[in-house]
Structure 1
Amino acid sequence: MPKYSGVPLAGALLALALLLSSCAPRSEAAPAVGGHRDDRPVVLTTFTVLADLADEVGGGHVRVESITKVGAEIHGYEPTPSDLVDAQDADLILDNGLGLERWFERFLLSVDAPHAVLSDGVEPLDIRSGDYEGLANPHAWMSPLAAQTYVDNIVSALSDLEPAHAADFHANGARIKVELAALLTELRDSVAAEPAAALVTCEGAFSYLARDAGLQEAFLWPVNSDTEGTPRQIREVIRFVEDHDIPAVFCESTVDPGAQQQVSLATGARLAGPLYVDSLSGPDGAVPTFLDLLRYDIRTISEGLSQ
């Protein structure tokens, strides 16, 4: 799905990673915490949303790190040699799956650690158009319902990694699932009375959230790194917004909203948001945690559609 470089680059990065990692034993690389070396197992995730979920379930018993950082666009990420070197410390690797992180295959080649795909067990929705039509839409974490499966998979993976703390992982997972269930209820209640029955975004990253809410979905392009913001895409969304009398359209925090601004100007619909999908914000931002991200997006969508 996302664009990525070919085998020669992957091979070069892998060779460099293995060379550098052989020069820096893991025991010397563990960071200090409170003056003491941090010997907790290292859980490596592909992006910040998954890292926050794993950290919440882990409850301090594991050290969670994300390959991509706050604000990064996940689809077309290009791993660096230092990413691969850092990955040598991983005791467990967690990724989304559903074709999201094609670049991640390089890490799996170079890291000898257990691996869990967090979307396993989620019923996927298909991408409806573009170069990847018919493939699975990878944005399942945006569903408060499907995200409960992510939590279950994290609980299982961490329990296998650290059986002594399995009871804590299960308790933390149960707490998070209660909060996700409450967000699902809030989502459905917030849009039930709205006359606008469609969610219009830049990327087609909200199919699972729209399904949970009972909303139609329209978007400019299906997947970031696909063809984005073409005149045809803009014309089709303008027609949809006009036909359905949509009061607000949205764009995501990690993409240029210029094409959606054209839709807004042509139709009079307000450009609301931004919405968050692929990345959390910093600790002082709007969505420092995954639950904050869902809560923020649900309320932003509800407020936009009620105008």
Structure 2
Amino acid sequence: MRRMRMSKKLTATVLVALLFVMAGCGKNEAATGLKDDQMNVVTSFYPVYFLAKSIGGDAVNVVNLIPAGVEPHDWTPKSQDLNTASKAQLLLYNGAGLETWVDDFLQGLPKDGALKTKAVSEGIALIEASGEEHAEHAEEEHAADEHAEEEHAAEEHEEEEHAHDHAGEHDPHTWVSPRSMLVMADNVLKALSEADVAHQAAFESNYKTLKERLTKLDADFTAKLGAAKKKDIVTTHQAFGYLARDYGLNQVAIMGLSPDAEPKAQDLLEIAKFVKEKGITHIFFEELVSAELAQTLARETGAETLVLNPAEGLTKEQESAGDDYVTLMERNLENLVKALQ
């Protein structure tokens, strides 16, 4: 994982250098999606896009970098993406280490440039990635042995990491909790209002409507999960730490913070034992990631599978059906309640 992040980081550095050479080749091309008669807001991925679009409304033009159906962990920007972001008036990104390319991009911007930027996860108490384990009852000594070589390799590359590159230090999946999204919505409101004072009243009106939806969602999660008999959830991807923390659940993940992480055989055995001991009836998987591991664990333990959507992006079908962050999370709540009966 460390080498993968370093590769992405170097790629971003090269692209940042190239995009400013390209920037002088013409005005905002149609392919960028930018408009000359509106404030242009570029967002890194869907949850931030949802907030910017909901609060900005008709007053802003929002361009999302990651297309529908693409897993954000697998995505790196191309020169055109960075070029688009550099020509906008506002760049909104999640932060907390999700966008591994963003630090190099921000450093490559001209010092006198007009682009404003905001990490919308600011103000959320972040979960330390180092404190997350696959199974709560795993032996500390066993874990130390398994990860010793990885930690040693990481130390060798430590000096090469940029001082502001915090990728891997925290769980970046802040938006998966409606309670966190309320904080993020407030950050987006402030960023939009500072960038376009003339439309502040419209932004505040739109924000009020969105806040009501998110507040109701938070209240529903609090009430229904608080009343659930069981509190343990088994997921393929360790993406639900903030949801678990905010609503009193215990997440046990087959894979780590990246959906590409490969679980060890010992981890799978421990989780299978955990599922049987706790009487867990459902294993959760994601729509944008292969369900094979969840299905295998379900077969081994006699459990069933259910979708728990990390809301990182919409599929094309969901986009066409008019789904958004709130409707995805409402379905998540339905499935959680079903699994925790």
Q: TM-score, normalised by structure 1?
A: 0.88
Correspondence for 1:295: 330
209, 219, 224: which one aligns with 1:175: 209
CA contact (8 A) 1:234 1:262 kept: no
Paired with 2:222 and 2:322, the residues of 1 have a C-alpha distance of 21
Of residues 242, 249, 272, the one that matches 1:215 is 249
1:159 paired with 2:174, answer: no
Would you say 1:199 and 2:233 are equivalent positions? yes
Q: Is the 8 A contact 1:145 1:184 kept in 2?
A: yes
CA shift for structure 1 position 267: 0.8
Matches within 5 A, 1:108-119: 108-111=106-109, 112=113, 113-119=115-121
Larger mean CA deviation between 19-28 and 234-243 belongs to 19-28
For residue 125 of structure 1, what is the aligned residue in structure 2?
A: 127
Deviation for aligned residue 1:166 = 0.8
Residues 1-20 of structure 1 aligned to structure 2 (within 5 Å): 3-4=4-5, 5=7, 9-20=11-22
**Is the 2:90–2:195 Cα contact (8 Å) retained in structure 1?**
yes
Q: 1:278: Cα distance to partner? A: 1.6
Q: 2:267 aligns with which of 233, 237, 245?
A: 233
**Residue 78 (structure 1) aligns with:** 76
Query: 1:135 matched to which residue of 2?
Result: 169
My pick for the range that moved more, 296-305 or 282-291, is: 282-291
Secondary structure at 1:42's aligned position in 2? strand
Residues 156-200 of structure 1 deviation map (CA, whole Å, 9 limit, x = unaligned) = 000001101111212222221221111112112323343322121
Aligned counterparts of 2:13 and 2:310: Cα–Cα separation in 1: 33
The number of aligned residues is: 302
Question: Which aligned runs of 4 or more in structure 1 are off by greater than 6 angstroms?
Answer: 27-30, 130-134
Could you say what secondary structure the match of 1:56 adopts?
helix
Per-residue CA deviations over 1:75-96 (Å, capped at 9, x if unaligned) read 2422112212222321101111
Q: Provide the C-alpha distance between the structure 2 equivalents of 1:8 and 1:211, rounded to a whole number of angstroms.
A: 34
2:144 aligns with none
Gaps of 5+ in 2: 134-146, 152-166
- Give distance in 1, aligned partners of 2:255 and 2:100: 19
Provide, for residues 16-42 of structure 1, a one-character-per-residue CA deviation record: whole Å limited to 9, x for no partner: 32222210123887869xxxx651111
Q: Give the whole-Å Cα distance in 2 for the aligned partners of 1:192 and 1:239.
A: 25
Alignment match, 1:63 = 61
1:262: which partner in 2?
296
Secondary structure of the structure 1 residue equivalent to 2:328:
helix
**Residues 87 and 107, structure 1, Cα contact 8 Å, conserved in 2:** no
Amino acid at match of 1:240: F
| Deviation at residue 238 of structure 1 after TM alignment | 1.0
Closer, same or farther: CA 109–25 of 1 in aligned 2, 3 Å: farther
Q: What's the counterpart of residue 85 of structure 2?
A: 87
Note the C-alpha offset of 1:11. Answer: 4.1
SS at match of 2:58: coil
Structure 2 Cα separation of the partners of residues 299 and 276 of structure 1: 14
Deviations 1:97-116 (A, max 9, x none): 11111122343234441111
Q: Answer whether contact 1:205 1:223 (CA < 8 A) is retained.
A: yes
* Map of 2:140 onto structure 1: none
SS in 1 for 2:235: strand
Secondary structure of 1:299's match? helix
Do the aligned partners of residues 30 and 73 (structure 1) sit closer, same or farther apart at CA in structure 2, a change above 3 Å counting? closer
Partners of 2:29 and 2:208 in 1: how far apart?
Answer: 34
Instruction: Report % sequence identity.
Output: 29
Richer in helix (by share): 2
- 1:274 deviates by 4.9
- C-alpha spacing 1:144/1:13, structure 2 compared with 1 (3 Å): same
Q: 2:238, 2:252 within 8 Å by CA — same for their partners in 1?
A: yes
Alignment of 1:239-278 (within 5 A): 239-278=273-312
Q: CA RMSD in A?
A: 2.6
